[in-house]
Amino acid sequence: QVQLVESGGGLVQAGGSLRLSCAASGRTLPNYGMGWFRQAPGKDRIFVAAMTWSSTNTYYADSVKGRFSISRDNAKNTVYLQMNNLKPEDTAVYYCAAVQTLGIRVRPNEYAYWGQGTQVTVSS
């Protein structure tokens, strides 16, 4: 099975930046789809960003387009979410997810593996 561990969350002022990391371990899969989701208190888990591991195709939610960037490092087997110009409405628990696929996936139900989540809090 695939194991995912997030890190990099914390408290930041509005307009600041954070970079989240997701380290993957387990058996090697021929194809990966990787995603970032977030969940605020009392709300559903929603899509943030996704990429295909091999081709590095990316896709973003409209709310974060131009501010967030998803990327990966093959040597470290790690995916990143660079978050710039953070806003209070970005406050949430952020989750890394993975699934064996050839393309982009944007629905939580499409992902088989999940990290434990990391808290991001943006103060005004």
Q: Residue-wise pLDDT tens for the chain (124 aa)?
A: 789 999 999 999 999 999 999 999 876 566 889 999 999 999 999 999 999 988 889 999 999 999 999 999 988 999 999 999 999 999 999 999 999 988 899 999 999 999 999 999 999 9
- Note the pLDDT of residue 4: 95
The residue among 1, 7, 30 whose CA lies nearest residue 116 is 7
Report the alpha-carbon distance of residue 82 to residue 93 in Å, rounded: 15
- Note the pLDDT of residue 28: 57
Contact yes or no for 92/117 (Cβ under 8 A): no
